[in-house]
Amino acid sequence: MQSFIASVVQLKSVSDKAANLAEASRRIEEAAAAGAQLVALPEVFAWRGPHQDERAEAETVPGPITEEMGAVARHLGIYLVAGSILERTENDARPFNTAALLGPDGRLLGAYRKIHLFDVDMPGRVTIRESDLRAPGSQPLCVTTELGRIGLAICYDLRFPELFRALADQGAEVVVMPSAFTRPTGQAHWETLIRARAIENQSFLLAPDQFGAAAAGFEDYGNSLIVDPWGKVLARGADDRAEVLTAHLDGDLLARVRRELPCLEHRRLKP
């Protein structure tokens, strides 16, 4: 992996798709102006509204949103994780929750469909059944780029270390995890789990998050993070505002960590 600058964008997306895309584009340009070669947007960045409207708002991937975001990536000459989009499906009324990796030429390099769906009941704090609304994906995704091998995950996937180990087995050096992590679970586990996934898989982890009250009635945590393979927090967001966080991802550090503590090579229990 080469060294490069990366940014994560923290947003509070609403049900106005045009406004969300305009805000995302502005923040992407801000990141690129700071030197970012890879920029990542949070989960459901393009549209976030009442659950009953999700199916009507879903689009194809590739489709209008990836085309618009691809044009931004091409104009700025950057890699962009448009993460995530409600993707219309042919065989299920529920859309996929899909993160798209776009290249500096604007092309769609890969699309990851969220595998683990957030079905929880925490009375008085948050109750969600994502599986009622969205279809699950089934395949990890890791893409070779000029910057390095980039893997994708989404939000609740964070609690499933086997996915991140699968990405490590596919050579992931950077994992990008768009999120809309709720405040109760975020306060308890967000940073701990992100740092653990980065440490145990010896990869950089970029986690752009939503913040503030969501249409569904719960609140998102913010606190977007960029973490290095040693578990060091390189950048941290606030919990109450949209912002761009930028950090230098040191390829030499990644190589040194993997060389000096080659735990991925020392595994004895393998699938």
The secondary element (H helix, E strand) that includes residue 207 is strand 204-207
**Strand partners for 87:** 59, 96
CA dihedral 157, 186, 27, 241 (to 10 degrees): 160
Question: Known catalytic residue: 155?
Answer: yes
Residue with tokens 């919990």: 239
How many of the other CB atoms lie within 10 Å of CB of 176?
27
Question: Known catalytic residue: 114?
Answer: yes
Show the CA angle centred on residue 37, arms to residues 21 and 242, nearest 5°: 40
**Exactly one of 43, 59, 87, 173 is catalytic; which is it?**
43
Q: What is the DSSP string of 6-39?
A: EEEEEB---S-HHHHHHHHHHHHHHHHHTT-SEE
Show the CA angle centred on residue 46, arms to residues 239 and 33, nearest 5°: 70
**Exactly one of 12, 57, 87, 114 is catalytic; which is it?**
114
Which positions are catalytic?
43, 114, 155
